[in-house]
Chains A and B, each alone.
Chain A
Amino acid sequence: MCMLVLVSQACSDDFLDQTNPNSLTTKSFWKNNSQLNQGLNSVYSALKNNDVLGIQNESVRTDLAVPSGYRQATRPDEMYFQDFTANTKYVENKWNALYLGVFRANQVIENYERLAVDYTTEAAAEEGSRVYAQARALRGYFYYVLNTSFNSGNIPLVSSVPKDFEEFQKALSSSEAVQAFYRDDLQYGIDNLPSTYADWESYGSNNLGRITAGACEALMGKSFLAENDFQNAEGYFKNVIENYNYALAEDIATTVTGIAEFNSESIFEINYTTNVNLETTGEESLAQNITYIVFNANIQPSSWLAMKYRADKIDPADPANINVGADVYNENGEIIGTEDRMRLYSKRMGDCMGQVDDPDSPMYGAINGEYGNATGVAPFARNRVNMFKKFLHWNTIGGGAGEDRSTLMNNRSGINIPVIRLADVYLMYAECMLESGNLPEGLKYINRVRKRSHLVLLGKASEAGAEFNNLETTYMDDIDFDSSNGQQPVTVQNLMEHLRFTERPLELSLEGDRATDLRRWGKFKEQLEHLASIKYDYWHYEKNLNGKHGTRYKCFLTVSGEEPTTYEGKKVFNQPPEVQDAVVGAQKFNESLHAYLPMPQSEIDSNLNWDEFVQ
């Protein structure tokens, strides 16, 4: 026994040294480029979180969307009611998601810097530096979102993996300091990253989807625009437009329905898939659920936006606006033939928003107006008012079936979500031009975006910058496209208004940073009040175009007192009258409280320096 005691004494430290069998320790990881790359993958993985873009919450908090059925303010929605506080889940989750990305990027950055001195081959050094540049660029993006989203831009600037108390409990850095920091990261990306997706492909397969110099440049411009620093922004946008071979895609649907991912218009998008690893859960899952949030109409276009889409002026001269072989119905809704006729609503609306009476746009293989209330059809076919069509498979799934609702798919989708695309850059560049008083250049880029959707263009065809002076294009020098109220020639001022409240929301609904835009224009409260001031009526849609289906209740909106003019011979009635959007939100919105999201309570609770500034 004495022996045993001695033996146990002698090897006691070996006996008590236990290493975690479940994972590598940080000390045994981060040894080479392959591991740096794995670290980098986890930084990309952080992008997948819904709350990074916050599509659902950002759109209901601005003028773009209303939460499902919430026009009648029966149930509180913190974001829609401008009632969010430091305790609001979205506020907390978005902060968490972004700082998670920062933490992971910092790990890659720190460990690269440690490994960088010991690379033995040129190739290894280059590969390492590309990993490093991506981590810097992504960290720059995370900080850009943090800076434009929270606490007037004043946030803790965590630039390394924390080690001691001061690093764990960071005081705030001023918005300027944060901007300087992340612009440095983005600039590093511009200087060191492959410029486009195609360039990335030259480094071997499975590089498609990585962040590019072009993306950094576009984000850099956007970050200056967020400060209304148009001069600086302009330069970056100009580079993006001229130096990277980007081009607008054929239509908006190309960029938002997953049919041609990473196309020529895409500058940076978050890559999702349901083709591989569908069984995984949590962060291993490679799919998103935005598709189903939109499909289940958890967010619907605000009434104001729906009216805007409906009024989107289609170009009668453009042959693309002709619906070839459209069905013709008799009184009983039976198809009695076909005809070629002008579209009722714009192609841009057909790509972005579904409405019950649209006879020209497909919805899961059926015509919206024929789409009815039968077993197995999508919720939209029943009683939704209007529905966003972005991020849906409406042009790939047929038979009116709607999204795949099998248990296998379990509300997951592989459609990529754009972070920034060329149309956005065009419109931002146009804004810079208008700010500098350059109307023709501003018009040029706005019209490029409009022409892609085959809309009537603004300004005069004879003007020097008019690029589409041909027989298939109509120019109108009337900012509201309505000659009945007299011609209102396009000016810098009214074009700016048009850009802010027509062109950008129609082109970039559910995309872009609408809250940042409204805030920097100083129009946030004004716009919400404008929305709240308009009253609408609901209408039932008694029979579908083909008369097959029963009444679709409360599925059409008009401004109160008006009647639907877009379809005939169908009996409609309104009840109850006078629906309003954003009433509570407009009343509660307070620039100082709601223009930015507050710092979340969870940070305040756990960070003693939350109200201190870095000296």
Chain B
Amino acid sequence: MKNKLLLIRKSRLKLMTLMLGLCFGFASAQELSVSGTVSADGAPLPGVSVVVKGTQTGAVTDFDGLYTINAKSTDVLIFSYIGFATKEIAIKGKTSLNISLEEDASELDEVIVVGYGTQRKKELTGAVVQVKSEELAKTTTSDIGTALQGQIAGVNITASSGQPGEEANILIRGFSSLLDGQNGPLYVVDGIPYNSDPQLSISEIESIDVLKDAASASIYGTRGAGGVILITTKQGKVGKMDIRVNSEYGVQDITSGTPLMSSYQLTYMDMLRGAQSSGKVQGGVNAEIHRNRSWFTNDTALEDLILNDLAPIQNHSINVSGGKDGLTYNFNASFYDQSGIMINSDYSRFNIRSNTQFTKGNWKIATGLTFKRDEKTLPNYGVFNKILEYKPFQPDIELGQTELTDVTEDDVDEPGGIGPIRNLGGVARNLNTKEVRDGTSNGANIQIDFDATPSLKFTARGGANFSHDKGVRIIPRLDVYNTAGDLIPPNPWDISLIQTAVTDNNKLTFEGMMNYHKKFGKHDLNLLLVNSLEQTENEYFRAEKRDNADAAVTVFDGYTTGDLITSDGRDYKRTLIGYLGRIQYNYDGKYIFSGSIRRDGSSQFSPQNRWGWFPSASLGWNVSDEAFWEPIKETVNSFKIRVGYGTTGNDRFASYSNQAVVDLGQDYVFGSADVDPSLNSTTETPALGTTQERYANENVKWETSKERNLGVDLAFFNGKLTFSNDVYVSEKKDLLFGVVNPPSTGVFGSNRSSILNIGDMRNTGHEMALKFNHYGKKGFNWNMGLTYAKNVNLVTKTSPNNPVIFLDNSYISQRGPRELVSVIREGYEAAAFFLRETDGIIKTEEELEAYKEIDPAASLGQLRYVDQLTVDTDDDGIPDAGDGKIDQDDKVYKGSGSEDFNMGFNFGANYKGVDFSMNWYGSQGAEVMNGSKAYAYQSGTHADIYYSWTVVNPLSDIPYYDGSPNTNSYRDASDYFLEDGSFIRLRNISLGYSLPSKLTDKMKIGKLRIYVQAQNLLTITNYSGFDPEVGNNGFSSRGIDQGTYPVTSQYKVGLQLQF
């Protein structure tokens, strides 16, 4: 193929000749071996990269600063090391070259990856931030988001939960969409866009570049609205084979919990309540304990059973890289394994990546092959809450049993009958229920670069990713026998079953690019044209069978009834075509312009709305390069101003939302087996019903985001101190919004909304990043970084027919009435909490009489809600009176799960072989709804209830528990459960020691570092629940602690080995 191309094109032949000539020319120079020491401030400098200029030949200095390299006598060597000025030295026939490097902390020459190319940091006009592998590797996690937390100003990362294998929520510059789950960034790995988190292991990543502003992200057009995360994986370097082994092992712990009542306290409250509601004396009341006398001495803490303290976590990786002229390779394998702190929650993942790069002449071919296998075990839904529900006098349960024997049943003559025993079986079944999800994915990508002329380059890139996921959920059979050995039949709804869900997903990407780069004097011009094609296919089915015959056989054949197979309407195929043109120009590195335009077509839309334009423009001015800056250049080394404007879109909503369809499954039956004898239609055949169930909007179109960004970058004292500051305003237009149609049109529940472009939203933000690096003369180096980000979100327009939307998942506890608390409402941030204000407890009869005006059903000990001023009695336009009842109108704005600002602080230091680093993260101003507390209240088990208002404790400020989870006082949507979610957390602290080179040399290894590390060691917060960091699904349930799996503390030791 290559030869053919060369043969048929004359120009290529000419080039070939030219190249051959050059090679011949080189051949005449003399080969020699050059060696020497690289030092700084008189001390040897290990790890310095030494490269023969214009070739791929390279070497790295060892721990004594020594290097050896083969080169020609006429060659030039390039010495480079982070934090030092790069030096170029001509060999001029010498065989020994000792070099001293000058400290230079300037990062301006750092290469930053922007979409479809790279730029020197100095020429950057957008808000793009790079995080290198060393920073990422400091956190032990399976998740990229978690590793990025606190590293980049304006990238808000909130752990969704502490469940192993869970992905953190990443919000770049605030909410970008009002659709649940569509606020995340686009991931691009080595140029290939992914539909979701690519689940890479941290060890295979070389760097992550985040395109925060729309001017940068609009390169990815329709998918850029949530920002873009560009991931570059490790590539091999020419030189000696480098083997690195990292190994880490640790344990996890949770540090807080919800306080619960003891058996005695609970029984006391039971009897008190019984006496109060029946009018009997306390001693005359039969409480639950009386009916279950054998439970008398129990004081069970289910927590001890469900939680798995000191759960292990481990992470191991091996990286082999190296290469010779024309071929470099990098192989990475990693294994991550985390046991959850809760039963039945584990995650393990095995990643392999093999990257190779072939270079020959004008051709460069880079390939990547990946394999991923992960296994995630999930406990039953809401198991965590079982801790809060379980009464301490109920018996202890042993996990993993398939039968419970000798269960006492001493209450047969009581109204409850065998209920408690059946319920015990139900709880045991529930705890034993788990789901195992296996995921396998294989990926391959190839990139071919051809330099047609020194300034014209063609690139073709292809990527394929195939993933296969299988989830198996088993509700096991569990038989309960009483003391007489009789089987107690389970409750009718305690059905044993197996559910298997299989998803197949494949994604193909192709991109063709043409790049023209030319310098004319001080002008530097870069032109880019891209054509991009993408296709994603998804297939899904779920199978279910019920009634397990024997707990030992849990494959499908072991179940006796109810074959159910469904595809749930989840199959889809999506396609995307993109055309992109970009021009980058700078004059003398001083005045920089970048403009791009992308045209995208997506199958998500009907033909009339299919294509969209996404332009962007940005300007940069390196003010410090101007002559007038000279006087202060010594102190303020660089000063750059950046302005940018860009447009991005979002097409991520349920596929085929623009097509109205009919669905099967609204069935009826005619005929009857029990028919009156005068008739004869005794056959019962289901009459299959098919009908349209929801409305579609054929005219759905892009959701667009227009953002303006102003940034400055400053560097002081030889680049030791850098500072950057960005402000932005982004206007989100035509937000896709699930507009709720009136139920009179025949739709409700999940069918009720159609996707319409209706809402507008604004994000205004401010980001700052400060970095300081100090390279000490005596080998004591330290650095610190500080980030600050503030984003203000405001919904500026909502659908005229849905002015207030309560978000579907925003209840705080599954136990109570499940009131929704988060809303989208014009004039407030998205997903703001709207709650009833509370006004203490009704403590006296007088207070009760007064409050009965508002709520006639009120009783003593209940929480008093505020009847907000909603009625305008004197027609002055200002509401001045309550409406005499507590209803939806009395819910008022009470903040949200979105923080006011967040800050990250990193500190690192090393001296000789010892290194230390820590990472603090703080979030201020977010509110948290304490759903765990609400759950324990509604279950009547919370320790507070012991101290609640009762007839004998009439001064308490804790509302009375009347025995029902739906008690008016414990309703979800009240500020009683609202807490301040601000926190400061020591996310990471580590101390390491590298063995001196004398020792490692003897051991014949390159480097050996051992370290101890702790994650989430310390959290300073006023929040009373498990964890103030409550991300959940990132939007509708953000800030709502629904008994979320808490984030854990981790303590680890690790080893890094390099050959």
Interface residues in chain A, defined as those with a beta carbon under 8 Å from any beta carbon in chain B: 1, 4-5, 8, 12-13, 15-27, 29-30, 35, 37-48, 72, 74-76, 81, 83, 85, 87, 92, 95-96, 99-104, 106-107, 155-156, 158, 161-162, 168-170, 197-198, 201, 205-210, 258-264, 266, 271-273, 275-284, 286, 373, 375-376, 382-383, 405-411, 414, 416, 550, 553, 576, 584, 588, 600-603, 605-608, 610
Contacts and interface: CB of A to CB of B under 8 A. Distances in A.
Interface in B273-311: 277-279
A38 B968 contact: no
A271 B670 contact: yes
A419 to B, nearest CB: 14
Given A264-B678, A405-B489, A209 B743 contact: no
Interface string B451-488: 00000001010000000000000000000000000000
Given A5-B531, A22-B571, A279-B546, A155 B744 contact: yes
B742 A606 contact: yes
A8 B662 contact: no
Interface residues of B, number: 105
Interface string B306-341: 000000000000000000000000000000000000
Contacts of B1003: none
Contact of A259 (B279, B667, B674, B681): B674
Nearest to A551: B413
A580 B676 CA distance: 42
Contact of B415 (A29, A45, A87, A553): A553
A260 B572 contact: no
Contact of B561 (A198, A275, A408, A411): A408
Interface string B895-939: 000000000000000000000000000000000000000000000
Nearest to A283: B666
B389 interface: no
Q: Which 3 A-B pairs have the closest CB atoms?
A: A103-B746, A42-B689, A279-B562
Nearest to B687: A41
Contacts of A103: 692, 745-747
B30 to A, nearest CB: 42
Interface stretch (B147-155, B797-805, B990-998): B797-805
B257 interface: no
A261 B740 CA distance: 41
Interface in B736-791: 740-749, 752
A205 B512 CA distance: 63
Nearest to B482: A375
Most chain B CB within 10 A, of A26, A75, A102, is at A26
A6 B660 CA distance: 33
Given A262-B679, A605-B804, A606-B742, A588 B856 contact: yes
A142 to B, nearest CB: 10
Contact of B742 (A17, A168, A553): A168
Contact of B674 (A44, A260, A281): A260
B681 A87 contact: no
B213 interface: no
Interface in B478-521: 489-496, 510, 512, 514
A42 B664 CA distance: 9
Given A260-B677, A411-B493, A15 B577 contact: yes
B887 A85 contact: yes
B573 interface: yes
A140 to B, nearest CB: 16
A581 to B, nearest CB: 17
B857 A99 contact: no
Contacts of A74: 277, 962-963
Given A283-B667, A406-B489, 17 more contacts: A4-B531, A8-B531, A19-B656, A23-B663, A23-B664, A29-B690, A41-B689, A99-B743, A158-B746, A206-B681, A208-B681, A261-B672, A271-B672, A276-B669, A373-B413, A408-B561, A411-B492
Given A24-B661, A279-B546, A284-B667, A75 B964 contact: yes
Contacts of A162: 695, 745
Most chain A CB within 10 A, of B491, B514, B570, B745, is at B745
A41 B670 CA distance: 10
B719 interface: no
Given A168-B742, A206-B687, A273 B569 contact: no
A150 B666 CA distance: 26
A271 B683 contact: no
A431 B668 CA distance: 35
Interface stretch (B105-113, B136-144, B191-199, B599-607): B599-607
Interface in B514-534: 514, 531, 533
Give the interface SS of chain B, mostly helix, strand, loop or mixed: loop
A420 B667 CA distance: 22
Nearest to A382: B415
A605 B510 CA distance: 46
B744 A170 contact: yes
Given A275-B673, A411-B493, A5 B666 contact: no
B659 interface: yes
A99 B667 contact: no
B42 interface: no
B668 A207 contact: no
Given A95-B743, A606-B801, A41 B674 contact: no
A260 B678 CA distance: 9
B418 interface: yes
30 contacts: A1-B512, A1-B514, A12-B601, A16-B577, A20-B655, A23-B664, A41-B666, A74-B277, A74-B962, A100-B746, A169-B742, A170-B744, A198-B679, A206-B671, A206-B683, A208-B679, A261-B676, A263-B678, A271-B668, A275-B684, A276-B685, A279-B561, A279-B562, A407-B495, A411-B493, A553-B415, A576-B278, A602-B748, A603-B744, A607-B742
B664 to A, nearest CB: 8
A22 B570 CA distance: 7
B673 to A, nearest CB: 5
B675 interface: yes
B82 interface: no
Given A5-B531, A26-B662, A259-B674, A20 B656 contact: yes
Nearest to B419: A379
Nearest to A89: B817
A104 B535 CA distance: 36
A127 to B, nearest CB: 15
Contacts of A72: 277
A400 to B, nearest CB: 14
B610 interface: yes
Contacts of B844: none
Interface in B938-965: 962-964
A279 B493 CA distance: 13
Given A4-B512, A262-B676, A605-B740, A286 B561 contact: no
A76 to B, nearest CB: 6
Contacts of B569: 22-23
Interface in B672-728: 672-681, 683-692, 695
Contacts of B512: 1, 4-5
B824 to A, nearest CB: 13
Interface string B194-207: 00000000000000
Nearest to A554: B415
Contacts of B259: none
Given A22-B571, A260-B675, A279 B577 contact: no
Contacts of B413: 373, 550
Given A1-B512, A45-B689, A416 B672 contact: yes
Contact of B661 (A22, A161, A198, A205): A22
Most chain B CB within 10 A, of A21, A26, A553, is at A21
A16 B601 contact: yes
Most chain B CB within 10 A, of A13, A43, A410, is at A410
A271 B603 contact: no
B564 interface: yes
B888 interface: yes
Contacts of B691: 38-39, 42-43, 104, 107
